[in-house]
């Protein structure tokens, strides 16, 4: 991977890692229904500009929200990952308009308490 690509990935992740962006959090019950939902907090979006080879931050009117199509795709992936691993899972994912859902990471949930409370 080219060094500028690595830097671009780091640049895109930085607002999430440093807490300036908080993603939407959706907790599903074992049957796939939405159990809890916390909206995103995001005043800007980071995108990679291939011409400038740089990460650009742009203000957003409102935080992104999982629409039905995306939530259904995530739900199917979570339930499949839980089936494969044999335990409830936490997944991290991304969505691209051309390629759709990409699972970045899936791991067993190890704590008993939800990130949203007891």
Residue 18 lies in a domain: yes
Domain that holds residue 22: 1-65
Residues 6+ apart with CB under 8 A from 28: 34, 35, 75, 78, 79
User: How many domains are contained in the chain?
Assistant: 2
Q: Are 79 and 60 contained in the same domain?
A: no
Residue 70 lies in a domain: yes
Q: Are 51 and 72 contained in the same domain?
A: no
- Give per-residue pLDDT as tens, 85-102: 999 898 888 887 788 888
pLDDT at 25: 86
Tens-level pLDDT at each residue, the chain (118 residues): 555 555 655 666 777 778 888 888 888 887 888 899 888 887 777 778 888 887 888 887 776 677 888 889 988 998 899 999 999 898 888 887 788 888 888 999 886 554 444 4
Q: Are 2 and 58 contained in the same domain?
A: yes
Residue 99 lies in a domain: yes
Nearest C-alpha neighbor of 4 from the set 53, 56, 55: 53
Q: Are 77 and 106 contained in the same domain?
A: yes
**Calpha distance 9→14 (Å, rounded):** 9
Q: Are 53 and 24 contained in the same domain?
A: yes
> Assign residue 100 a region: left if phi > 0, alpha if psi is -120 to 50, beta otherwise?
left
Tally of CB atoms within 10 A around 82: 19
Q: Are 45 and 17 contained in the same domain?
A: yes
């Amino acid at each position: 991977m080219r060094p500028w690509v690595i830097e671009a990935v780091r640049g895109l992740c930085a607002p999430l890692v440093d807490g300036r962006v908080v993603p939407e959090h959706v907790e599903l019950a074992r049957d796939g229904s939405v159990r809890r939902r916390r909206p995103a907090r995001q005043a800007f979006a980071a995108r990679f500009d291939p011409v400038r080879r740089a990460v650009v931050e742009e203000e957003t009117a409102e935080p992104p929200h999982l629409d039905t199509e995306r939530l259904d795709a995530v739900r199917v992936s979570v339930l499949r990952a839980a089936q494969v691993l044999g335990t409830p899972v936490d997944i991290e994912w991304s969505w691209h308009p051309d390629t759709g859902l990409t699972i970045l990471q899936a791991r067993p949930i190890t704590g008993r308490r939800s990130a949203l409370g007891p």
